[in-house]
Structure 1
Amino acid sequence: MKKNIKLATAITTCALLLFSFAGSVQAAPKYNRFAGQDRFQTSIAIARQEFQGQQVQNVILASAYSFPDALAASTLAAKQQAPIILVGTTMHDSLASLNFIKSHMTSGGTVTIVGGAAVVPRKVEDWLLNAGYTVTRLGGTDRFATDALIVKSLNVTTGSPIVIASGYDFPDALGVASIAASKGWPILLSGPNQLPQSVKDFVTSDQPSNIYIVGGTFVLHNSIQTELQSTAPNAQIQRFGGQDRFETLSQILYKFYPNPTQIYLANGFDFADALSGSTLAAQNNAPILLVDPKAGHLPAAIRDYLITLHNTGATPQVNVLGGTVGLPDWVIDRVNLRLGTGDTNTTPPTSTTSSAIQLPISN
């Protein structure tokens, strides 16, 4: 009898300990994946989520394969309350996207094409016109001219903050796209050494209160910052620039998203899904976290940001942009692990801020 009592007591004690331990561990967040069979279908899946199947009055049409013309489109899409739908260089590639427009756009709605005929073909434009839609094309002689047309169409208030990003690579611009879209900030593209004349003209007339440079001095040299300070002497200039795309992104994350309720994950080496998802992220005041799907581990800078969220008590909903080829399940498992269990404390990286020139120490 005594043995039975002791055994029952031991079992009860173990059960209480297990229950207590389980209660002390924070459950890892679940996740949503917005994806299709390809980048076209993924952009459609994201649009369906963004607008919950409702009819839309505006659509932004961008190239699925050429990033430069589309980089500045996020803020325009947010302003127009429009999804970003991707098309290819042939009607066959674009068929699913055009069918989505046909079934989800109001009669006589407006389609804004970003990019010239080389990236979004005339046949697509003709199809839209024949279907009775209003079509506006913002396409210049090069990526900077197209960007200037997009920025002009935003009609921002004088003094509005602006973002300066490289026109020759996409990660830095995509990292800041959701915050720029949610705030209505134009993204102005630049070469590495010198501001395009269109950017200088805009900065001269706008006289922004804040200028955010995204990218280290390897992609946007110190001369860019010097030009900006000379053109807008009263602006506060802040550079987000790390050793790689992930460190640069982490500086943006710590600055603008210290406690997000949602996060979006995307492939950091392909622009399409992150671009399509930028307005959905902006709608939810959420960041896009770029990762390397082939690395087998999270980028250290992104991992540390997730750990910081855990340590501060944040429990964001995890959303995934794209299918398992571009973003394998192991990525989500690692993200949920860091959010759910955390790790050692980390120190947020610093960006450089200046009302006069303050040059970053490292690239």
Structure 2
Amino acid sequence: MSKKIVALILILCSCIMFGRPGYAVAIEQDSGAEESERAEVDRLSGLTKFETAKIISEYYCSGKAKNVILSTGNDFADALSASVLAHEKEAPILLVDYAVENSKDAFDFCTEHLDKSGTVYIIGGTGIIGEEFEAKLSELGFTKVIRIAGLDRYDTSYQIACSLNKVMSTVVITSGEQYADALSISSFAANKGWPILLSPHGELPQEIKTFLQEKKPLQVYIAGGAGVISDNVKSEIESVLPQASIQRLMGETRFDTNVAIAETFAPNPSTIYLATGYGFADALAGSIVAAKSGNPIIFIDPSVPTLPRSTASYFAKLYANIQNPRLVSFGGSGVVKDEIIKSSRDLIWGAARETSIYSIDDISAAVTQKEEYSLPTTLQARLYNSEVIEVPVQWNPNFVDTGKIGLLIYEGIVDGYSKNIKLNFTVKEPVSIPIAQYTTYFDAAHLNRTENLRLAAKALDGKLLAPGERFSFNESVGERTVQAGYKEAMVIVGDAFVPGLGGGVCQVSSTLYNAVTLANLQIIERHPHSLPVDYVPPGHDATVSYPILDLKFRNNRKVPILIRSIVAENTLTFQLYEKSEK
């Protein structure tokens, strides 16, 4: 088969006189199918949701438009019913921000595409889209402006329904509190001219009851489960329309409901429109495009590169039924990732099954030297339908050696998955347990004393004593001088505390002395203070004074001894470790 690459770049806005044009760009395809058999993949997107709506509108109408719809891009409720009106009026849906100055994309479209005799429909009251928008349209030369608004979102949906001209044998009831279900059915309702009426969860609004009594539709679709439109609302509809067929279209999640609606009205679509299931703006603007041929808007989850289970199943059925729909993304790669488009394409074209493995992450493990470790027999695999399952894995090499410190790379093979999985296996040096540890406390507010203590402790940290080696505190720390950084603090001289250079060093020697005695090392020299000190119990101190008074001991063990000192906020700790000789 041919392996040509489809690279279609369609310049959408043939009448743009200035500004940046919008594009629908085909994503590169590498399927082995013949070019004539391949589905086209387009992305309609801008830098913002407002620019995306403009680009979608230019895709829908590249020439002159007779009508446009302005809807807020910040609050979905009022606009949920607008797609039906948009299709009837052949009016692209433009999104506006809170202020005129932030809605340039919408006004640019009107300037470039809307006939001066055309009509602008504003959806929602002045609290949603302010009067300054009407003033701006007038300034631009557009005099036909119709605002459709009710007292609330439910009344607005009623007002939109009343403005439709078609005979209404079918209506849609959906939630006015959540956008997903209304947008799932929007393209089908718009294509057929079925009004979308909004309802709160628990009770049908009176104006909606009145509309149903007046129009007497024979078919009512409830979009969404009882969690969004209660059974009480369904009962109210049955009471108002005893002759009507009432069908609830629902699933456990917004994605399941989305697919249930698509399978009901579009089992064999010619185009599938992808949009995020966690934002309304792109799907709302795109609903007019999807309504043109009654094709579905399919929701995706932008947080994962795979598809919801029901969506993957729907796409797999299309392949089984030899369907080859075109794919169009509403929104950029931040909301509809390239990986999601590829996953959709693979399922629709049969390059993968919904239960095929999509990805298996590399894994890591760390153990200490000579610790027992068994290679995992299974790994977690993500399927195309987003399920995560355990799958058997075979490793090379298939044995573990924890005797050597370092990083080892194991490669794993899983049946049905073309890539190798890596296990980054780290063998670490065993964490030693000190043979002795002793902590004393000091007042950190005495800055000079604290600095002296830190200097002396730092001089001892990391010192290693070989078996039989003699230790001298004064030799290791050195003379306490100004040049060495020592400061004046209180020291004991005879029977008094007086200022002296290096005050505080004796707490370091005393703390070390207690750790050494706990380790049962041989004390060679030790001197008590002439006055009691408060940081160690009586008789547990060891004063030093360079070069006369020293603390000396010997490593009488058969292995090296490592001295570690730790100075925290107000604590001094000495730890002694045995170090094995390698």
Q: TM-score range by the shorter chain?
A: 0.7 to 0.9
Structure 2 distance, partners of 1:30, 1:138, is 37
TM-score by length of 2: 0.54
Task: Give the corresponding residue for 1:73.
Answer: 82
Q: Distance in 1 between matches of 2:240 and 2:60?
A: 38
- SS of 1:283 mapped into structure 2: helix
Of Structure 1 and Structure 2, the greater helix share is in: 1
Verify the 8 A CA contact 1:58 1:81 in the aligned structure 2. Answer: yes
1:207 paired with 2:216, answer: yes
C-alpha distance in 1 between matches for 2:265 and 2:323? 14
Query: Residues 36, 232 of structure 1: CA spacing in aligned structure 2 closer, same or farther, 3 A cutoff?
Result: same
Please say if residues 28 and 336 of structure 1, whose CA atoms lie closer than 8 Å, have aligned partners that are also in contact.
Answer: no
| Contact 1:28 1:339 (8 Å CA) reproduced | no
User: Residues 208 and 23 of structure 1: is their aligned pair in 2 closer, same or farther, counting only changes over 3 Å?
Assistant: closer
Which letter does structure 1 place at the counterpart of 2:49? R
What is the CA-CA distance between 1:295 and the residue it aligns to? 2.6
Which one has the largest radius of gyration?
Answer: 2
CA deviation after TM superposition for structure 1 residue 155, in Å: 3.4
Map of 1:311-326 to 2, 5 A cutoff?
A: 311-326=320-335
Of 71, 87, 101, the match for 2:110? 101
TM-score, with structure 1 as normaliser: 0.86
**C-alpha RMSD over aligned residues:** 1.8
The match for 2:238 among 229, 236, 240 is 229
Between the two structures, name the one with larger relative contact order (CA 8 Å, sep ≥ 6): 1
- Structure 2 Cα separation of the partners of residues 242 and 299 of structure 1: 12
**AA partner of residue 258 (structure 2):** L
Indicate whether 1:250 and 2:259 are aligned: yes
* Whole-angstrom distance in 2 between the partners of 1:200 and 1:156: 19
Give the match for residue 54 of structure 2: 44
The one-letter amino acid of 1:182's match is N
Q: How does 1:122-271 map to 2 (within 5 A)?
A: 122-133=131-142, 134-157=144-167, 159-271=168-280
Say which is worse superposed, 120-129 or 194-203, in terms of deviation.
120-129
Q: Does 1:306 align with 2:295?
A: no
Q: Which is strand-richer, 1 or 2?
A: 2
How far did residue 284 of structure 1 move? 2.5
- 1:293 matched to 2:302: yes
Is 1:33 paired with 2:43?
Answer: yes
Counterpart Cα distance in 1 of 2:345 and 2:135: 46
The CA deviation at 1:296 is 3.0
Query: Can you list the C-alpha shifts for 1:217-255, whole angstroms capped at 9, x where unaligned?
Result: 111111111111110111111101111101111111111
CA–CA distance in structure 2, aligned partners of residues 143 and 154 of structure 1: 17
User: Which residue type is aligned with residue 43 of structure 2?
Assistant: R
Letter in 1 for 2:300: V
Separation in structure 1 between the aligned mates of residue 154 and residue 103 of structure 2, nearest angstrom = 25
- 2:294 equivalent to 1:279: no
| Alignment-derived partner of residue 94 in structure 2 | 85
Give the equivalent residue in structure 2 for 1:343: 353
Which residue matches 1:13? none
1:118 aligns with 2:135: no
Aligned counterparts of 2:313 and 2:322: Cα–Cα separation in 1: 14
Structure 2 portions without partners, runs of 5+: 1-30, 356-582
Q: What code does the residue aligned with 1:136 have?
A: I
Q: Please state whether the residue corresponding to 1:132 is helix, strand or coil.
A: coil
The separation in 1 between residues aligned to 2:305 and 2:37, in whole angstroms, is: 23
**Matched AA of 1:155:** N
User: Unaligned 5+ residue runs, structure 1?
Assistant: 1-20, 346-363
Cα separation, 1, equivalents of 2:305 and 2:66: 42
**Match for residue 330 of structure 1 among 318, 331, 339:** 339
Question: 2:244 and 2:268 mapped to 1: Cα distance?
Answer: 27
Contact 1:108 1:132 in 2 (8 A): no
Q: Report the count of equivalent residues.
A: 322
Shift, 1:22, TM fit: 5.6
Q: Deviations over 1:293-348 (max 9, x none)?
A: 01332111111000011111000000010111111111101100111115279xxx
- In the alignment, the residues of structure 2 paired with residue 137 and residue 109 of structure 1 have an alpha-carbon distance, to the nearest angstrom, of 14
Q: How far apart in 2 are the matches of 1:344 and 1:321?
A: 23
- Residues of 2 paired with 1:160 and 1:326: CA distance? 36
Q: Which amino acid aligns with 2:199?
A: S
Letter in 1 for 2:335: G
1:43 to 1:230, Cα distance in 2 relative to 1, 3 A: same
